Amino acid sequence: MNVHALTGLLILNLLFLASGLGLLWFLRGWDTWVELGRLAGLAYVVGVVTVGSLWTLLLIAGVPFSLAVVLGVPAAATVGSVLMARRRGRDRPRGDSIAARTSLIVTAVGISAVGVLIEGLFRTARLSGLYWWDAWSFWIPKAKAIYFFGNHDQEFFTTLPGSSYPPLVPVLDVAAFHVMGSPDVVTLHVQYWLFGVGFVWALAGILAERVPAWILWPFVLLLLVAPRIGRRFHITEADLLLDYFFVLAAVLVAYWILDRARWRLMIATLMLSGMVLTKREGLLLAAVLVVAALIASARQWRLVWPSLGVVAVVVGAVAVPWRIWYVGHGIGGEAPTGGGLDPTANTERLWPSFRLAFDVLFSSNYWSVIIPLALGALILAALARTYFLAVFFGALVILVTLGGGWITWAIPELEITQDLGGNPIVRYMGAAALLSCAASPLLLAAAWSAVTVRGKVDPA
Amino acid sequence: MTTRVWVAAAIVLIPLVGYPLVTLAGGSPRFPARQECERSAVEGQPVDIVYGRFDDPDSAVAARDRVLAVGFTGTEALPDGCGRWKVVLEGVPSLEIAREVQAEAATVDLMPTLELGSDG
């Protein structure tokens, strides 16, 4: 049974990888095998979010979620992408020698240290029980219901806690159950560990384009040892998966504004679409990401804003079917009563709510030293006059934090507390922390590059 | 490939292969055997009178109903912690009383075993 379950997961995750590799081949092409290896993690996450979103939309449309759908969708996505890539004239990646620079040794040490840490995390993931409240109270029950009934059982789904949450996470769980041959909630933790591994690979791969190895790898290690990030890789909840999509989308949008490679915006759009199908907070995070991009690109608005508008429309369209489903079944909405936009409401909660969000952001108990380091990186980037990245990531972290304060303020039922049972603020703020960890090396690399280039141009 | 590339490959591969090998050299993860949930009764400790173990809850409930039907009140069908279900009267205060119940059960063709109490 164990071998069967692990082999099933291996096949499923190879299908995710193949779908993403095919899609990236179609959208951007592969120049070399080395490049493909560097971006294979991104391809994996692209496969997860694309296939997961398609499964979710099919389920909402009423298509029975069977093993055939689980295997057929990624297989079709892979074949379709490859055919379109060939039609577009994409060449196969060519062989390329690895440049034997000093940074290669630094990269090797980084990969080795990160790899051993990830192997250590596997030991937890392989035999973990289902101990986390949201996991056993509704994420897994939803997945089991879809697995056993093959569809969204209306009565069950409308009575569970978190009934308005979109179903991408349960759908991914069900896919794992099908390939494992049973609803094996222990081995399921390996699937979430794989999501974490894919994210780390993806993030390191895209950051490596602009960040020297000696700046990059310490931050990847920091991410893995942060109490509420790396140590929670195996937990079968939606929070980290949402954060993965959000952070990768943010980095891709920043890169797109810098170099206008359209494939980056397309992949970011897929990530944002996955976010709105993962958790209701996904809508808020997607919105603040677009707003931060609008702010940071204000000087190039003619070139950037129309495309961002298209992204917002596409992501909004992907969000609609699930909202129709739950509204049609009498489930309460995701927004606070009254929309949470009346500034005269709950005024006594205003300051405590926003203070709570900032307290959580700066808590080293949750995020280790990520936030102070990010603040330092932001200041250095501003001093080095690399304004775009500083404004984009600074605005995004502030907007995410203000969003966290808004949630607490606008929903009076939430206690002003960091206790997970009374307020989701700690879960939500993981997005700001993970983003800060991803942005710091980019900001430092940009500052370093600006200073060293200026030093060469003007040694005085 | 240059020496530097070989060194880089070694830096990556040796720890990544070595760590799991060293870990597995200490043995694979150990799981409790089913028999480890069946601990012998001990003098001076509470005793559980177990009427049988079953692979599924329906069989356990049916067996419990048969035991209750012949008068052994308080008997329950419970998970045994090792993947099976047991039909059990928990917390009998002494081994002597448990043996009396066991002898009485034998008169109606029930063959319970005496085990160390769950909180013993």
Report if residue A301 sits inside a domain. Answer: yes
Q: Is the CB of residue A363 less than 8 Å from the CB of residue A430?
A: no
Q: B39-71 burial string, b = 16+ CB within 10 Å, else e?
A: eebeeeebbbbbbbbbeeeebbeebbeebeeee
Name every chain B residue with its beta carbon within 8 A of the beta carbon of A109. 11
Between CA A159 and CA A153 the distance in angstroms is: 10
Tally of residues, chain B: 120
Q: Look at the block and give the residue holding tokens 């069908």.
A: B77
Out of A282, A302, A330, a domain closes at A330
Among the listed residues A48, A203, A194, the one whose alpha carbon sits nearest the alpha carbon of residue A121: A194
A135 and A227: one domain? Answer: yes
Name every chain A residue with its beta carbon within 8 A of the beta carbon of B7. 105, 108
- The answer to whether residue A154 neighbours chain B at the CB level (below 8 Å) is no
pLDDT band at A100 (very low <50, low <70, confident <90, very high): low
pLDDT band at A76 (very low <50, low <70, confident <90, very high): very high
Q: Which of A100, A116, A126 sits opposite B16 (nearest CB)?
A: A116
A300 and A358: one domain? Answer: no
Report if residue A308 sits inside a domain. Answer: yes
Residues A351-363 pLDDT 10s: 999 999 999 999 9
Arithmetic mean of pLDDT, B6-34: 86
CA B110, B112, B118, B120 dihedral sign is: positive
Out of A315, A330, A345, a domain closes at A330
A30 and A144: one domain? Answer: yes
Out of A283, A307, A330, a domain closes at A330
Q: Which of these ranges, A95-104, A440-449, B4-13, B97-106, has the smallest mean pLDDT?
A: A95-104
Q: Is the CB of residue A195 less than 8 Å from the CB of residue A244?
A: yes
Check pLDDT > 90 for residue A1: no
A289 and A361: one domain? Answer: no
Share in percent of chain A as helix, strand, coil (round to 5): 75, 0, 25
A263 and A140: one domain? Answer: yes
pLDDT band at A460 (very low <50, low <70, confident <90, very high): very low
Of chain A, the percentage scoring pLDDT greater than 90 comes to 81
pLDDT number for residue A288: 98
Residues B72-115 pLDDT 10s: 999 999 988 777 899 999 999 999 999 999 999 999 999 999 99
Report if residue A100 sits inside a domain. Answer: no
pLDDT band at A456 (very low <50, low <70, confident <90, very high): low
- The answer to whether residue A127 neighbours chain B at the CB level (below 8 Å) is yes
| A97 to chain B: closest CA residue | B1
pLDDT number for residue A339: 64
Q: Is residue B111 left, alpha or beta, with left meaning phi > 0 and alpha meaning psi from -120 to 50?
A: beta
A167 and A76: one domain? Answer: yes
Q: In what order do the strands lie in the sheet with B113-116?
A: B76-79, B85-92, B47-54, B113-116
Q: Which of A100, A119, A126 sits opposite B2 (nearest CB)?
A: A100
pLDDT number for residue A156: 81
Residues A392-404 pLDDT 10s: 999 999 999 999 9
- The answer to whether residue A1 neighbours chain B at the CB level (below 8 Å) is no
Q: Is the CB of residue A205 less than 8 Å from the CB of residue A248?
A: no
Q: What DSSP assignment string belongs to B74-91? A: T-EEEE-SSSSEEEEEEE
Check pLDDT > 60 for residue A437: yes
Between CA B8 and CA A108 the distance in angstroms is: 5
pLDDT band at B119 (very low <50, low <70, confident <90, very high): low
A213 and A76: one domain? Answer: yes
Q: Where are the domains of chain B?
A: 1-30, 34-116
Arithmetic mean of pLDDT, A318-323: 95
A319 and A403: one domain? Answer: no
CB within 8 Å: B29 and A127: yes
Give the residue with greater pLDDT, B35 vs A46.
A46
Eight-state DSSP code of residue A136: I
Q: Look at the block and give the residue holding tokens 């430092």.
A: A444
Report if residue A112 sits inside a domain. Answer: yes
- The answer to whether residue A115 neighbours chain B at the CB level (below 8 Å) is yes
Between CA A201 and CA B39 the distance in angstroms is: 48
Q: Distance from CA of residue B35 to its chain's centroid?
A: 6
Residues A168-194 pLDDT 10s: 999 999 999 999 999 999 999 999 999
Class assignment of domain B34-116? alpha beta
Q: What is the mean pLDDT of chain A?
A: 93
Residues A201-256 pLDDT 10s: 999 999 999 999 999 999 999 999 999 999 899 999 999 999 999 999 999 999 99
Token pair in block for residue B17? 């292969």
Which residues is B76 bridged to in the sheet?
B88
Arithmetic mean of pLDDT, A39-51: 98
Q: Based on C-alpha coordinates, what's the Rg of chain A?
A: 22
Report if residue A457 sits inside a domain. Answer: no
Which value does ipTM take for this structure?
0.77
Domain count, chain A: 2
Of chain A, the percentage scoring pLDDT greater than 70 comes to 97
- Which range of residues forms the domain containing residue A160? 1-89+108-330
Residues A328-383 pLDDT 10s: 888 876 667 666 667 777 888 999 999 999 999 999 999 999 999 999 999 999 99
Q: How far is CA B79 from CA A25, A380, A436, in A?
A: 52, 60, 46
Between CA A185 and CA A167 the distance in angstroms is: 17
A269 and A366: one domain? Answer: no
**Where in A29-75 does DSSP place strands (E)?**
none
A268 and A386: one domain? Answer: no
pLDDT number for residue A24: 98
Number of Cβ atoms within 10 Å of the Cβ of A94: 11
Give the residue with greater pLDDT, B119 vs A311.
A311
